[in-house]
Each structure stands twice: as C-alpha cells, then as structure tokens.
Structure 1
Amino acid sequence: MDDEQLGEELRLTVGRLVRTVRAADTMPPGEAAVLGHLDRDGPLTTADIAQRRGVSHQAAARAVRDLAGRGLVRTEAHPHDGRKLLLHLTPAGSERLAEERRRRADWLGTAITQALTPAERSALAGALPLLARLDAHLRAR
C-alpha cells in the first residue's frame, strides 16, 4: 500500500470511528463543540467559536443561546470591545462536558476490550503518538 492509499484508508477509518462514537453522544454535536472549545481555549466570543468550528455566526449563536438557557455557559462584557460578549464555561457546563467525555471514553474502552486482543490493544496504544504527530504536522501547515 503506498502512502496515498494509506492516507485514504486512514481518513476513511478514522472518519467512520468518529461518526460511530458520536452516535452515542447525548448532546447535539454543535453544543458539545462549543463546550469543548471553551474548555480547551478559555473564554471566547461567538464569532471566535464560529470561526474555530467552521460554521456560520448564526449557527454558533444558536448553540450558545441554547447552552446559556440551560446554564452551561455564561456571558460577560468583553474587556476591550463593549460590542462583544465573552462566553465562559460554567461549572454545570464543565460537568456536562466531562460527563459526555466519560460516556464516550467508557463506550470506546469497552469496545476496545471486547474487540481487540491484548497484543492489538498494545499496537493501538503504540499508534496513538503517531496519530498525534500527524495531527500536529497537519495543524502546523
């Protein structure tokens, strides 16, 4: 298999795995993504979130509105631009995101235990740093 074929197989396989794992989510993907960005990156504006997610400002604003209505995010005036609001993850939002992440990890961990031999689990663990390096390389481009 040449590198181009390997790249295509990796893209297909990882894409299917991500979609399969997301199917078990209990939150809409847009809402989980907003909470994840706030958790990783700290306070952001709705425009920042839209840009990072690659969605329209309206789509990001809709997800933010729903999350704020449930007390999972809060807003405050932007310190440098009074026309903007900064979004913050609330403790309830942090716990909801952690719960969703735990559910995903438990579900995937169970599948790993049931579907893979100990040697295969070891090989999978060994591949994770390689995948992380590929991700870092692609992000740097």
Structure 2
Amino acid sequence: MALVAAPQPPAAIDRSAVDLRLSVMRLARRLRIQRVPGALNLACLSALGHLDREGPATTTALAAVDRITPQSMTRSVAELVERGLVERAPDPADRRQTLLKITLSGREFIERDRQLRDAWLTQAMGEQLTDVERDLLLLAGRLLDRLADSPIKEEVS
C-alpha cells in the first residue's frame, strides 16, 4: 500500500494572510447569525441567491458554482422546491434538461434574509467605524473581490 503525501503548504505563510482569513471568517459567522429565522443551510441559500442574481440554471450549473457534487446540490434543490422557493421547468432549448427558477416566495425570502444582514452591518459600521475607516473598508471589499476571483490552483499529488 503506497502512502500519499499530504499537500505541502507554501514555505512561508505571511501572518497578514492568516489574520485576514480569521477576520473574514469571523465576519462571515457574524453575518450568518443575522439570518432569517428558520433559515436555509448555506448550500440552499447560495443556490437561491444565485438563481435570484443570475436567473434560471440547472442543478449541475448550481453545483459547479459552489464546487460541490451535483448529488449534494440535488438534496438542496429538493428542499428549495419543497419549501416553494424554487420551481422546476423544462429547458426550452433542451427539453431533456430541467431548469430551476426562483419563485416569488423565494425572492421574498432571499430579500428578507439580505435585509436582515445588511441592516446589522449598516448599524455596526455606523457605530464602530469612522468615515475614513468605512472608506478603507469599502476599498478592502473591492480587494477581497479581486482575491476571491483569483484562479484556483489545483492540488498536486
């Protein structure tokens, strides 16, 4: 039986990268706390948000966005359909495919969820940050978007 070597981290990890990761994770956890009561799990919420922003999609396309298996997304889609937040419809371009579309209830749900989190963040920024700090944070948000859009490096085994 051959042993597989664990992926090796870069030779030197910048402490600022560690601090940034921890800060982003803490803020993400805090934003999750501010969600709608009876909230969806993160996979469902992500799929619903994608359908709201980008329009109809297949289960496979939604799975690719979150880098999860289509089987895992199928479970999330089933919950969304059961709750009446998403509906299935034949793809007009390829009748063998099924498109998922957000319903009016789904739009209302995601909007309420976003409003709760945005309201908390607006209040926290107003109470905790100076005008200069707020401007810096907005710039940092654009930089975080650039980092999030950077290419994903595949692990080498």
Scaled by the length of structure 1, what TM-score is found?
0.83
**One-letter amino acid of the counterpart of residue 35, structure 2:** D
Q: Is residue 4 from structure 1 mapped to residue 34 from structure 2 by the alignment? A: no
Aligned pair partner of 1:98 in 104, 111, 131: 111
Runs of 4+ in 1 over 4 A off after TM superposition: none
For the pair shown, the structure with the greater C-alpha radius of gyration is 2
Range that drifts further, 86-95 or 76-85: 76-85
In the superposition, relative to structure 1, how do residues 139 and 116 fare at CA in structure 2: closer, same or farther (>3 Å)?
Answer: same
Q: Is residue 125 from structure 1 mapped to residue 135 from structure 2 by the alignment? A: no
Unaligned 5+ runs, structure 1: none
Q: Is residue 47 from structure 1 mapped to residue 57 from structure 2 by the alignment? A: no
Q: Deviations for 1:67-119, whole angstroms, at most 9, x for unmatched residues?
A: 11222111111234333210011122112111111111111111112222333
2:123 is paired with a residue of what secondary structure?
helix
Equivalent-residue separation in structure 2 for 1:126 and 1:57 (angstroms): 35
**One-letter amino acid of the counterpart of residue 17, structure 2:** G
Scaled by the length of structure 2, what TM-score is found?
0.75
Larger helix proportion of the pair: 1
1:129 is paired with a residue of what secondary structure?
helix
In the superposition, relative to structure 1, how do residues 92 and 112 fare at CA in structure 2: closer, same or farther (>3 Å)?
Answer: same
**One-letter amino acid of the counterpart of residue 61, structure 1:** T
Matched residue pairs, number? 139
Match of 1:19 in 2: 29
Q: 1:36: how far off?
A: 0.9
**% same residue:** 36
1:62 is paired with a residue of what secondary structure?
helix
Root mean square deviation, CA, Å: 2.3
Q: 1:13: how far off?
A: 1.1
Structure number with the bigger relative contact order (C-alpha 8 A, sep ≥ 6) is: 2
